[in-house]
Chains A and B, each alone.
Chain A
Amino acid sequence: MKKVMTALFAAGALVALAACGGNSSNDNSSGSSTEKVTLKFQSLAFQKTTVAATKKIVADWNAANPNIQVEYVQGSWDSVHDQLVTQFQGGTAPDIIHDESADITGFINQGYLADLSPYLSQGTKDAVSQGVWDTVSNDGKVYAAPTLMQSYVVLANTATLKQAGITATGDSLSWDDLAADAKKLTANGKYGLGWGLKSPTATVLNLGMNFDAKFFDGTGTDAKAVIGDPELEVPKRIHAMAYDDKSIDPTSLTQSATDVLPGFYAGKYGMIVVGNYAAQQILQEAPKGFQWEVLPPLKGTSTKQAANPQTLSVPAEGKHIEQSAKFIDYFMQADNLAAVGQGDWLIPTTQAARDAILKATGGKNGWPETLASGTELTKAPFQSVENYPKWKDQIATPAFQEFLANKTDLAALGKKLSDGWSQVNQ
């Protein structure tokens, strides 16, 4: 048996070697910047406006850099992870990879991504805050350029708010105020708050930063689960609003974030909590005359949230790492980031680009509040834990779902979260 296995692996290795010998790129230059190269840029731009903005960036670059041509390839968020896993294994990943920080952490650990720190310009490095760089770095190496971020925001139906005499101004909205407002808005079969928490883990952990929730201590596989009061604060409050105050529609807790929108337009929910990207969808599909606003950022002990930026990276085995990094550097320029950020309603990682959006939109449609939340986004402990995705899928998501469906109590939730970690982190 063992002999057969060895033979099989030998055969497999041969094929793999033969494959590596092949030339996977469509040109044969070896990295010197004077020869003409063509780079494949797999973009995940989603909204029409963002696709157009991204294509324009590529076209501008190509016009200015005849020797480094970039080819736009459309990818999709839905399948990017599977596609990259196979492409990395097969050695055919695109030269410039668009993804997000939460998704590439695994790829970084697996050594698939190139260190970009020698190639990115000082200007780019300075423009992004250290907390955000941390989400794409490991051991002093930088594996991606962070481009756009989302934060969780509270959106409100302006008319409903006015009727109830609620004015939400100021720098922040405390969780207590949120609960009080939601209660005030709950009447006659209408709920104060709709909250799509079908995939609860990301939301709970990101907003947990409001209360300094850690969830993990340490990095890699040595990390320990830390589940205490701060960690359980956000689920506790959501649960109380749904089942004590009855101001959150419990059905909405089982829906996806954007599935809650029709109820928001119809006045069924006075407020919703969503990723700020949902604003773009609201602009496109809300009924005429529907007025909404972005409330100030949620605050517990702070207004911090975890940053999970979109990223641009280069494969470690790429043939044109330097040229690819140059294009990424260009992409990071304020005007470019502002253009793509505005299209997807996401927050650029650089202050200059945020200012550009503010100027371009004239501070309408809740952009000032949205952009303001960008400064409070930073790396969370769970982002450097290797088995976090497994814990998230197999332990945390089912446990939060059970708790939010009122099937278990808070103590049981805490126990599941920490016991589950020792189970999956073996």
Chain B
Amino acid sequence: MTATLTAPTQVKKPGRPKQNREAIFLFLPALLPVLVLSVYPLIRGIALGFTNARAGLHVDTNFVGFDNFSKLLHNGLFWDSFRIGVIWTLSVTILQFVAALGLALLLNTDIKFRGVARTIALIPWAMPPVVVAIMWRLLLHPTNGPVNEILQNLHLTDHPINFLGNFSTALPAVIVVGIWVGMPMTTVTLLAGLQGIDRTLYEAAAVDGASAWSQFWNITLPQLRTVIVAITSLDMIWNFNSFGLVYVLTAGGPGGKTMLPMLFAYNEAFRYGNFGMAAAMGDVMVVIIIVFLAFYLRNRLRTEA
């Protein structure tokens, strides 16, 4: 992160001292609550990974160095779930981005009923998570779910499929639900980004006779870049971290095929009471995700101001 301080020659306008003062002034209202309610608990949580903290009354907690991490290294089940987590995260993030970009572009045109369409597109967002998972279980129900009913009526399958219980369909099925849940978020963000693009750019390109595809490729995508990077990186983090949805859908089954790493860490802490070990899993995930994102976000984490 020291990279941020190495480019002083680029500073154009008012001198650094004044900038820093002004910046701090703008930061002030957020500072105290963030330090007390987020930074401090986070540091404690991260530090927990270096202890043997366990649930229990009057239990002593000791600093154990890297013990948890070396144990974790040999925990095959954890790394299995990690692999599933990577498949889940990348599939959901990429497919969701492509789908959401398509929808955002459509909703940004002058089609009729745009307002209604935009509101309907937000439906998955408006549903409480506990309901979303239960509802999808019913939609995909092999005996009386509409999805199987429709597939059978269209003769796409002759026998009902239990999407969430079948070894080969469970992960794809939860990925579809994952995409569904996250669509509004990504769509709205991209739509807001599209709205911020200066229309005169398109007009100029149209005068030059650029095709729709070339306008999209040469104007829309570059202009959206900051927003795309921001939302896909967040989506990636959230998807990697999510487990509540999958937990209600499949509880990690069948045969551990949908056991996401965060569900694994959650069980370690809340079901088995090993807070220290669970925090160590969290630490490992923080490091891995940040290394991964550092590559993805190298421009943004440095500076482009």
Contact B63 A110 (CB under 8 A): no
Q: Across the interface, do A390 and B63 meet the contact criterion of CB distance under 8 Å?
A: no
Q: Is B270 an interface residue (CB 8 A)?
A: yes
Cβ of A85 to closest chain B Cβ, rounded Å: 5
- Name the 7 nearest CB pairs between A and B, nearest first: A254-B165, A110-B56, A111-B57, A398-B256, A402-B255, A401-B254, A398-B255
A402 cross-chain contacts in B, Cβ below 8 A: 167, 254-255
Complex CA gap A106/B17 in Å reads: 57
Give complex CA distance A397, B259 in Å.
12
CB-CB < 8 A to B271: which residues of A? 81, 106, 389-390, 393
Known: A110-B59, A251-B142, A317-B57. A390 touches B47 (CB 8 A): no
Q: Are B55 and A393 interface neighbours, CB within 8 A?
A: no
Q: Mark A99-119, 1 if CB is under 8 A from B, else 0.
A: 000000010011110000000
B124 interfacial by beta-carbon distance below 8 Å: no
Determine whether B251 belongs to the interface, using a CB cutoff of 8 Å to chain A: yes
Q: Quick check: is B160 within 8 A (CB to CB) of the other chain? A: yes
> B172: CB under 8 A from chain A?
no
Chain A residues with CB below 8 A from B255, complex form = 398-399, 401-402, 405, 407
Flag whether B157 is at the interface (Cβ < 8 A).
Answer: no
Nearest CB of A to B274, in Å: 9
Which of A5-13, A152-160, A377-385 lies at the binding interface?
Answer: A5-13
Q: Which of B130, B167, B270 sits near A407, CB closer than 8 Å? A: B167
Contact with A along B258-295 (1 / 0, CB 8 A): 01000000010011110000000000000000000000
Contact of A85 (CB < 8 Å), options: B44, B142, B273: B273
Asked if residues A263 and B254 are in contact (CB atoms below 8 Å), the reply is no
Chain B positions 141 through 170: 1 when the CB is less than 8 Å from some CB of chain A, otherwise 0: 111100000000000000010101111000
A interface with B by C-beta (< 8 Å)? 2, 5-6, 8-9, 12, 78, 81-82, 85, 88-89, 106, 109-112, 198-199, 251, 253-255, 259-260, 262-263, 266, 268, 316-317, 387, 389-390, 393-394, 397-399, 401-402, 405, 407, 423
Mark contacts of B40-71 with chain A using CB atoms, 8 A cut-off: 1 yes-contact digit, 0 otherwise. 00011001001100111111010100000000
Q: Interface size on B (CB < 8 Å)?
A: 38
A262 and B144 form a contact (CB under 8 A): yes
A8, B47: Cβ atoms closer than 8 Å: yes
Report whether B50 and A5 are in contact in the complex, using a CB–CB cutoff of 8 Å.
yes
- Given A254-B164, A401-B255, 6 new contacts (CB under 8 A): A9-B47, A85-B273, A110-B59, A111-B58, A251-B162, A268-B143
A76's closest neighbor in chain B, by CB?
B130
Contacts of A5 in B (CB 8 A): 47, 50, 63
B273 near A199 (CB under 8 angstroms)? no
Query: Does B252 contact A393, Cβ atoms closer than 8 Å?
Result: yes
Is there contact, CB below 8 Å, between A8 and B44?
Answer: yes
Contact of B267 among A6, A199, A262, A393 (CB under 8 A): A393
- Cβ of B210 within 8 Å of any chain A Cβ, yes or no, is no
Please state if A198 and B253 are interface contacts (CB–CB under 8 Å).
Answer: yes
CA gap between A263 and B54 in the complex, in Å: 45
Interchain nearest-CB distance for B66 vs A (Å):
11
> Which of B47, B51, B256 gathers most chain A CB within 10 Å?
B256
CB distance from B5 to the nearest CB of A (A): 23
**Smallest CB separation, A271 vs chain B (Å):** 16
A260-B44 Cα distance, complex, nearest whole Å: 46
On whether A81 and B270 interact (CB within 8 A), knowing A9-B61, A259-B143, the answer reads yes
Cβ of A269 to closest chain B Cβ, rounded Å: 10
B77 interfacial contact with A, CB 8 Å: yes
Docked CA distance A268–B142 (Å)? 12
* In the complex, chain B residues whose CB is within 8 Å of the CB of A390: 267, 271-272
